[in-house]
Amino acid sequence: MEKIKVGIVNVTGYAGIELARLLVRHPDIELVSVTGRSTAGQKLAEVFPHMTGAADLIIESELADVDFAFAAMPHKESASEVMKLVERGIKVVDISADFRLSNPDDYNEWYGFTHPSPELLDKAVYGLPEL
């Protein structure tokens, strides 16, 4: 079976690096692209020495072509990044709160911001797994 090519947006945050740590060990996944704002251009293993399983992976400013992506951006920033990936035909799991509610008006009430991609809300599937 061919490995699934996966990317992580914002690998340098806590959730992003934990995802990377888990994904590099998965037998059916190849972590091929990661992004980070302040560390773009550096090797992932230079920034995070424990990431020896991805020693040659370079942190980029934009995600390369992948089959699947995880968005580990902060709340209120993630939706615009997710929209760019969806427009490229990439399936995305967003771990922020940006797609938790289905009504765009609820974002103003509960989170204090106007959702930047309301057209994606009816396509998003919210799930909270018990691990």
Q: How confident is the model at residue 14 (pLDDT cuts 50, 70, 90)?
A: very high
- The answer to whether residue 47 scores a pLDDT higher than 90 is yes
Res 44: pLDDT: 92
4-118 folds as: Rossmann fold (3.40.50)
Q: Is the pLDDT of residue 81 over 80?
A: yes
pLDDT > 70? residue 131: no
Q: How far is 94 from 75, CA to CA, in rounded Å? A: 10
Reported as a single tens digit per residue, the pLDDT across 85-127 is 999 999 999 999 899 999 999 998 998 889 988 988 988 888 8
Helix then strand count (H, E) for the chain reads 5, 5
